[in-house]
Amino acid sequence: MTSAPPAPLHDPLPADHGPGRRPNAVAQAKRPVRALGALGPFLRPYRGRIALAGLFLLLAAATTLAFPVALRTLIDQGLVAAEPGARVLQLRDHFVALFAVGAALGVFSGARFYLVSWLGERITADLRNAVYAHVVAQSPEFFESTRTGEVLSRLTTDTTLVQTVVGSSLSLGLRNTLMGTGALVMLVVTNPWVMTQVLGILVLVVLPALYFGRSVRKLSRASQDRIADSSAIAAEVLNAVPIVQSYTQERREAGRFGSATEAAFDTARRRSRVRALLVAFIISATFGALLWGLYQGTQAVLAGRITAGHLGQTVVFIILFVGSVAALSEVYGDLQRAAGATERLMELLAARSPVHDPAQPQALPAVSAGSSVSLRDVVFHYPSRPRQPSLLHFTLDVKPGETVAIVGPSGAGKSTVFQLLLRFYDVQQGEVRIDGVPVARASLHALRSRVGIVPQDSVIFSTSALENIRYGRPEATDAEVHAAARAAYAHDFITALPEGYATYLGERGVRLSGGQRQRISIARAILKNPPLLLLDEATSALDAESERVVQAALETAMQDRTTLVIAHRLATVQRADRIVVMEAGEIVDIGTHAELIARGGLYARLAAMQFHHVGAA
Ligand SMILES: Nc1ncnc2c1ncn2[C@@H]1O[C@H](COP(=O)(O)OP(=O)(O)OP(=O)(O)O)[C@@H](O)[C@H]1O
């Protein structure tokens, strides 16, 4: 898994898929039922409703099959009574009986429709939720090889296909299977001689339909993949519209999206062509079968072998039967489409995060004055770059309450240290401990509850200022949120917003300045009040005033806890107890600002460059 190159969505397959990992597509195409069988666990909770829907389905099918029998009695008995008065009465009775059959059919069909549609909607909702919850819990490695737009497309278009199947095709299929079998049985019982011919037609129609169905499935999967491609492009570009426009790339981006949708159209067109061929073939075959049956029947009536009523009944059974076969082949196409979509969803569900909770998590000890951190001889490379270690024999101990600044050139591995402390990745060698417990032995929830992070690029959710800060501790009261905002020097600017704390901040906080976004992000971390704080100072230059408040906010945030800060500012490094200087994944020096400057090494050079403008200010 670690050495796999960045791969398309279907690659994060479960380990339990065995050595073959990705089953051959042709072999898969032979197993639509198996692919749909994966929906079993989603159907199981609704056994009662499914049984009820099945009951109504049976009743509706039985009523439909009773109809030709009632018709035969109507023709043979209602029309042949000797005396005209009695004939009228008998006819009326027959019509009442026919109406009763029709009304029952209506009620049963309505009930079945409601139950089955309900199931379709319910299962789609459950499936969406399950896939989403699963994807959200994946480690960053998953998102390195999966485009978010693609996941979104799976969540919408693929689940909609599944909904079509569960909410209609499946019941249509069952009903037609029942009706077709019922009609066939009735035909055998009422005229065994038609049987052989009908069976012959059945074979003729079903075999090619099965063949076509398979290619529909493959093409369907391909067209869903193309739709996912275009969604992925759209999601990426819509998130970067200002950049796209500033580089005047709108036309090119529209073109790129256009090619993806054209590719989707093209596979959909090919799929439709196969299905159209299927439909044309089935309708012709159905029609032929019907005429053949009729011809045989009329001959039999002329020869006096059967009554007119018998012929009428046979004709209706034949219509029912071939109608079912035709509907089934259509349903088969739908099932094949949904099987492709289900496979994709199941692959997403089967993706196992390489970082997961240990079987028996070790509890983290209670701490009062901040957490202790220890990295021992850590060797780490990102899964996608097995040959390029990002940390090499990295050893660092941080005492509770200490503030340690990490500095170093770009790409030195500073952020990587944070990633490992949050256990977004597991190390290949060495050990990372927080409060004496190896991070791999603690539960992810317990570990991450202990760590607060203020990233370089502040993340703002498209909700109010209040809710954005409350994200740090969802159960916090409004007063606690306000206190955190005050501590982060965010209270004044928030109250000056049009609706104060209730102001909607726009998607990704587009309605705030950079410094304001950072202070919201700091307030969030202060509210969480973690014993270990990881600060990634923003490199983007803020104006002097903004810089001053952000710095003040950060200083409040660092109080009474252990802080690791990726430092870009002179004020921060001067305040730190120790400064760790990193280069190419290794620690090259540790000391205070004065000590490191005095040594005149990498730090002195970095300081001369990086802190120059701050020192001057
Ligand atoms: N997800 C990733 N997959 C593969 N390689 C990565 C990943 N993230 C970072 N790297 C690589 O790991 C090395 C260390 O990166 P890191 O982000 O820790 O550097 P940094 O010191 O924080 O840099 P900067 O100051 O520019 O943010 C770099 O060579 C980088 O290219």
The verdict on the CB of residue 385 being under 6 Å from ligand 1 is: yes
How many angstroms is it from 111 CA to the middle of ligand 1? 59
Contact 183, 324 (CB under 8 A): yes
For residue 528, the number of C-alpha atoms closer than 13 Å in the C-beta half-sphere is 25
pLDDT band at residue 399 using 50, 70 and 90 as cut-offs:
very high
Question: In angstroms, rounded to a whole number, what is the distance separating the alpha carbons of residues 354 and 15?
Answer: 10
The verdict on the CB of residue 457 being under 6 Å from ligand 1 is: no
Global pTM exceeds 0.90: no
* Nearest Cα residue to 592 out of 609, 608, 574: 574
Q: Are strands 578-583 and 429-434 parallel, antiparallel or unpaired?
A: unpaired
**Domains of the chain and any CATH numbers:** 35-350 (1.20.1560.10), 369-450+535-540+563-617 (3.40.50.300)
The verdict on the CB of residue 5 being under 6 Å from ligand 1 is: no
How many angstroms is it from 60 CA to the middle of ligand 1? 64
* 380 has a pLDDT exceeding 90: yes
* 369 has a pLDDT exceeding 60: yes
Which residue's CA is minimally distant from atom 30 of ligand 1? 411
Question: In angstroms, rounded to a whole number, what is the distance separating the alpha carbons of residues 583 and 500?
Answer: 44
For the ranges 1-5, 253-257, 416-420, 592-596, which has the lowest average pLDDT?
A: 1-5
Helix 308-350 to helix 250-302 angle, to the nearest 10 degrees? Answer: 150
Q: Is the dihedral of CA 585, 591, 594, 599 positive or negative?
A: negative
How many angstroms is it from 6 CA to the middle of ligand 1? 16
How many angstroms is it from 584 CA to the middle of ligand 1? 10
SS3 560: coil
The verdict on the CB of residue 424 being under 6 Å from ligand 1 is: no
The verdict on the CB of residue 252 being under 6 Å from ligand 1 is: no
In degrees rounded to 5, what are phi and psi of residue 58? -60, -45
Please state the atom number of ligand 1 nearest to the C-alpha of residue 419: 18
Which residue's CA is minimally distant from atom 29 of ligand 1? 411
CA 49 to chain centre: 26
Q: How does pLDDT run across 301-329, given as a tens digit for each residue? A: 888 888 888 888 877 887 888 788 778 77
SS3 395: strand
Q: Which residue has the higher pLDDT, 240 or 216?
A: 240
How many angstroms is it from 373 CA to the middle of ligand 1? 21
Looking at residues 245-253, what average pLDDT do you find?
A: 85
pLDDT score for 206:
65
Which residue's CA is minimally distant from atom 25 of ligand 1? 410
The predicted complex's ipTM stands at 0.95
Question: In angstroms, rounded to a whole number, what is the distance separating the alpha carbons of residues 456 and 454?
Answer: 7
Please state the atom number of ligand 1 nearest to the C-alpha of residue 391: 14
How many angstroms is it from 392 CA to the middle of ligand 1? 13
Residue 400, number of CB atoms within 10 A of its CB: 16
How many angstroms is it from 415 CA to the middle of ligand 1? 7
* Nearest Cα residue to 138 out of 390, 444, 439, 389: 444
pLDDT band at residue 28 using 50, 70 and 90 as cut-offs:
very low
Please state the atom number of ligand 1 nearest to the C-alpha of residue 416: 18
Q: Are strands 562-566 and 532-536 parallel, antiparallel or unpaired?
A: parallel
pLDDT score for 509:
67
Residue 430, number of CB atoms within 10 A of its CB: 16
Q: Is the dihedral of CA 200, 201, 204, 207 positive or negative?
A: negative
The verdict on the CB of residue 419 being under 6 Å from ligand 1 is: no
